[in-house]
Structure formats: structure tokens, C-alpha cells
Amino acid sequence: MRWRGRKSSKRVQNESLQPHAAANPDHQPISGSILADLAAVKESIGHNSDVRFREYRFGPDKIPIVVVYVAGLSDKELINDYIVNMLLMDGDGRHINNHELRDYLFDRAMPICELKEASTINSFTSSVMTGAAGLLVEGVAGGFTFGESQVLKRNMEEPPSESMVRGPRIGFIESLSHNTALLRRLAKTDSLAITSYQIGDRAKKEVAIAYISDIVDPKLLEEVKRRITRIKIDALQESGYIEQLIEDDFLSPFPQVQNTERPDRVLAAVLEGRVAIFLDGTPFALIAPVTFNMLLQTPEDYYERWMIGSLIRMLRYLTAFISLFTPAVYISFVSFHQGLIPTKLVFSIAASREGVPFPPLIEVLIMEVSIEILREAGLRLPKAIGQSIGIVGGLIIGEAAVQAGIVSPIMVIVVAVTAITSFSIPQYNAGIALRMLRFIAMFFAAVFGLYGVILFFLLLGAHLVKLKSFGMPYLSPVSPYRVKDWLDMIIRAPLFLMKKRPDQLQTKDQTRK
């Protein structure tokens, strides 16, 4: 982990715009004269009310030492343990001269794994401000920092955004080190590689990428690393920032990086030869590259027996189609191709539309928009109230709208079906993408009828064929056609048949052993 310290110090050196910094703070070294160093540190960060300084005297020579930490952020127990330990040792009763002192501290007095040296005032203060405890010692040029910020962590619970019937009930949390540790615990292989970067020009955050080093395609890995290191932003709040900054096409409605809270999903992805990206402070990990069919898959497809997995997966393809096209097809049938509807259905649709004042497009728009509003309102409200919104919105408004003759009952069915189907898509943002496209499909249908719907389908197909995620075609294995990967696309073949990793990922190690 030493390179990380180097890396961070390098980054720190680039920071030249801190307002409270001294004349040339970048290279101001820690001299070893504790008064001067302390003054410099205090000038840099001493104005913060939560920065604490505590002085001790150490050894028979009563060497002054100062511990600097941030209240509430630094791990107090760690500080107490080691400082007390150090003071108790009392230099083994020896008089230690100045050039021995550093090695003595390093090797004997502070037997702590994450003890680092900071040579400049700036790197020292920067470590302190990110949660380490700093230690200045009279006569030692360069300070020490140790420990990490105390992690405010919650329990690892089942992720609410991806609940499943069968599968591990554990999800990522907001702490990166816990997340990567969780992944390692599940993977139990020495070839799982985790590489970290500090990203963010102002507030640095740790970004880690995880991959299996002897599986992943080196070109893919190179590309992911290149995109991550090229992120220029002052602060990353959530992995969504990374997703948006590294995606291929910002104009596409489709997510080009998958996000997940489930460690089993990440593990499965890296074992296929994909790369996972973690960000400290968010439970959502990213998986790249992603293909269209991944958006319609859940880990459960693999946990259940293959017939169940395949059937449910096929059902999801159907729901995606229904979600996207039902209102459009309804509009085109009702206003253009009445001859294609079965005769008895024509009568009941015509009867139900009798007295409805709006053309089908407006009618569908009213209902679709209001159901989107209901969905949004239900999401924002506390859970207890959220349910009543569903009842008020869905039942009462729907029923009243029909009674009032603003919309037809069949329309309500169409809208309800599309809403439910769009929620059955496992990837939340993919569901939203389909809902978005549904409106475009409706306009096409209102203008050209079924011809327009087909036109829209072609446009959508053209877009998807063109779209790429980290250089991998979004529609693979359909286009480019890789028949071997079809075993795990619309159906999920029995596990013993899927002996090869996805062909499309061009992994170093093709066989699953």
C-alpha cells in the first residue's frame, strides 16, 4: 500500500490553490524543529475548530511530540492505543539521539501497519484532514501519519434496489474498503486484482477497479484505467458521476455501464472478464462493459434451475417489448388499423371510447404522464404514505377518470400494463430508458400508425447496433453475431453447457474451470 501514499502525496503537490496555504507550501518541508513545524501546521489547518493538538513528552530526554487529529474523524481508539504504548515504552530507558529517533519510532515504538511518513507540511495536513492522525516529533525531519478515518458504517443488508427470492442477502455499503474486502472474501482467489485511484481535484475520493487479472482482456482493462484516470472533476459524489464521465455516448437513453449493489453480481461479472468499479462512499458498484441483454438478467436466473431461469428471462424480454410498444400499438390500432382488431374487440373499444373527448394520443399522454407523476410522488414520500399514494392515484383517480369520461377503461388497462411491465425490468435505469422511449414510440404511432411504430423500431435498432460500451457492441452477441454466447442470452442454458466464458469479452482464459 505504500504506492498509495506516494500517489496521494503527488496529488497533494498539485494542489496549489488552497487559500490558507503559506507562500510556498507545496515544498515546505517538515524541518524537525517542532515549534516551527507546529506553527506551520497550525497556520495551515489550525483555524478549524475540529482540529485538535495534543502534546506529550517522550523518553528520558523528554522529547516533545505533538499529535494532530480531527475530532470525530480520526480513530481515537487507535490514537490512544499507540500513543500510550509509545509513551509507556519510554524509549526503553535509553537516550536516543536524533538520527536514531526516526528508525526507533518507525521500528519499535509504533508497531502499526499503516504508519506513513509525510515530508512536507502540505502532505501532512492533507493526511490529517482526511482522517489520519499526525505525529510531529522534535528532531525528526518529516512527520508521521497513521490510521484512517474512522468508518461510519452501517450493517451489510440486503440491497433494497435489487431484491431477490434466492441469493445471498448481502449488499455493498458506503465504505470502499469494506466493499472490496467483501468481494475478496467471496472470490478467494489471488488473481482478483484491485487497483485504486484517488480521483477528484478538490475533494479526493478513492476509486477502485476490480478484475481477475488472468481473465480480463488487457485492452479492456487498459481502456477502463485510461477513462478513469482521465476524469477531471472537483468531487465525485456517487458512482453515477463516474458512470456519466466514462460512458461512450451521452446522448443514448440506454445505460452503458451497469450499476449494482450486489457483490455476487460483481463477482459473476469479473469472473466473466468484466471490470468492476467501486467508489468510496456509495454502495453502488459499476460493471463495464455492459450489453443490452445484461439489463434484462438477474443473478437469480443462474441460481434457479435452468428452465425456471430461462422462462423468467424470456418473460422479461416480453415485458420489455410490452413496456415499450403497448401504448404505441394501441394508438395505431385505434386510430389507423381498426380492421386488424378482432371484430368483437372493435365493438368494445369503440363503445369504451364513445364520449371520450380526446384523440387517443392525448388520452394516452394524460394517463402515461399521470402515472409517471404518481410513481415519482410515491418514491419521494415516506414509505408509509407512499402506499396510500398508490391507492389514491391508481384506484381512485383511475376510476374517477373513467367515470368522468375523460379516458376510456381500455386505456387504463393499457397504461397499467405498461407501468407494471416497466417495473419488472431488473435494471432500474433501463426501465426508465424504456419508459422514455415509449413516449417517442407513441408520437411515431400517432403520426404514422403501425408504419411509424415499425419505423421507430428500426431507428431504435440502428441506434442499438451503433452503440458501444467500452468498445464492445451493445447488442452483442446478436450483432456482431456470436452464436456461442446465445447460450446465455434469451435462454439461460444449463450450467454444464456454459463451459466457456462469453466469447464477446475476448478473455485471456476462455474456459471456466
Partner 1 sequence: MRRCLYVLLFVPLLSGCWSSKPIEELNIIVGSAVDKEEGNKLSSTLQYVVPAALQNNKGGGTAVKPYVNITEKGVSLEPIGWEMTLKKEGFIFGAHQKTIVIASDVAKELNLEELMDLHYRDVDIRGSANVFIAKGRASDTLELSDKSIPAMHINEIANQQLTTRLLKPVTLTDTFAKLESGTSFLMQQIVKTKKGEVKFDGAAIIKGKTGKMIGTFNKKEIEGINWLTGDSKSGTVKAYRSKKEHPVFFQLKTLDSEITPKVINGRISFDVKIKSDGRVAEYWNPHERPAFENKNVRSIEREAEKEVVRLVGNVVKKMQEEYKVDVAGFGSQLRIHYPRLWNEVKGDWDKTFSEAEVTYHADLTIQDYGMIGKKNTQN
> Quick check: bond before 426 cis, omega within 30?
no
d(CA 419, CA 371): 8
Cell readout for 290 is 455492459
Residue 413 sits in the site that holds partner 1 (CB under 8 A): no
Residue 275, H or E segment: strand 275-279
Q: How far is the CB of 359 from partner 1 (least distance, A)?
A: 6
CB of 356 to partner 1, least distance (A): 7
H helix runs in 212-305, sequence order = 218-229, 239-246, 263-272, 300-303
Long-range contacts of 177-185 (CB under 8 A, 24+ apart): 177/148, 177/151, 177/280, 178/151, 178/153, 179/263, 179/278, 179/283, 179/285, 180/208, 180/210, 180/278, 182/156, 182/263, 183/210, 183/263, 183/266, 183/267, 183/276
Q: Where are the alpha helices (DSSP H) in 71-206?
A: 76-89, 98-104, 121-129, 176-187
111: which DSSP letter?
-
- 330 binds partner 1, rule: CB under 8 A: no
Q: Is 352 in the site for partner 1 (CB under 8 A)?
A: yes
Cell readout for 441 is 414510440
CA-to-CA dists, residue 398 to 156, 365, 366, 370, 406, angstroms: 40, 14, 11, 10, 10
Site string for partner 1, 331-350 (x = CB under 8 A): ---xxx-xx---x--xxxxx
Query: Restricting to residues 74-103, which ones interact with partner 1 according to CB under 8 A?
Result: none
Nearer to partner 1, 140 or 446 (CB): 446
**Shortest Cβ 412–partner 1 spacing (Å):** 16
In the complex, the smallest distance separating the C-beta of residue 365 from partner 1, rounded to whole angstroms, is 14
Q: Tell me if 448 contacts partner 1 by CB under 8 A.
A: yes
Indicate whether 359 belongs to the interface with partner 1 (CB under 8 A).
Answer: yes
Ramachandran assignment for 462, one of left (phi > 0), alpha (psi -120 to 50 degrees), beta (any other): alpha
Q: With CB under 8 A as the contact rule, which of the stretches 107-115, 240-248, 382-390, 445-453 interacts with partner 1?
A: 445-453
Whose cell is 431477490? That residue is 164
Pairing relation of β-strands 133-137 and 285-288?
A: unpaired
Give the C-alpha separation, 256 to 467, whole Å: 9
- Return the residue of 134, 299, 360, 431 that touches partner 1, per CB under 8 A: 360
Candidate segments 34-42, 83-91, 351-359, 391-399, binder of partner 1 by CB under 8 A: 351-359
Of 315, 351, 369, 392, the residue at the interface with partner 1 (CB under 8 A) is 351
Minimal distance in Å, beta carbon 337 to partner 1? 9
Binding residue (CB under 8 A) for partner 1 from 397, 447, 450, 493: 447
**Rounded Cα gap, residues 349 and 211, in angstroms:** 55
* Shortest distance, position 455 Cβ to partner 1, whole Å: 9
Query: Stretches 100-108, 183-191, 223-231, 358-366: which one binds partner 1 (CB under 8 A)?
Result: 358-366
Instruction: Note whether 353 binds partner 1 by CB under 8 A.
Output: yes
Q: Binding pattern to partner 1, positions 473-512, x when CB under 8 A? A: ----------------------------------------
Residue 502's region, left for phi above 0, alpha for psi from -120 to 50, else beta, is beta
CB of 306 to partner 1, least distance (A): 42
Residue 354 is a binding residue for partner 1 (CB under 8 A): yes
**Residue 74 C-beta: closest distance to partner 1, Å:** 57
Residue 459 contacts partner 1 per CB under 8 A: no
Asked if residue 444 binds partner 1 (CB under 8 A), the reply is: yes
Judged by beta carbon, residue 329 or residue 430, the one nearer partner 1 is 329
Minimum CB separation of residue 350 from partner 1 in Å reads 4
Q: How far is the CB of 459 from partner 1 (least distance, A)?
A: 11
User: What single DSSP character describes residue 418?
Assistant: H
What does the alpha-carbon distance between residue 173 and residue 156 come to, in Å, rounded to a whole number? 6
Residues that bind partner 1 (CB under 8 A): 334-336, 338-339, 343, 346-354, 356, 359-361, 443-444, 446-449, 452
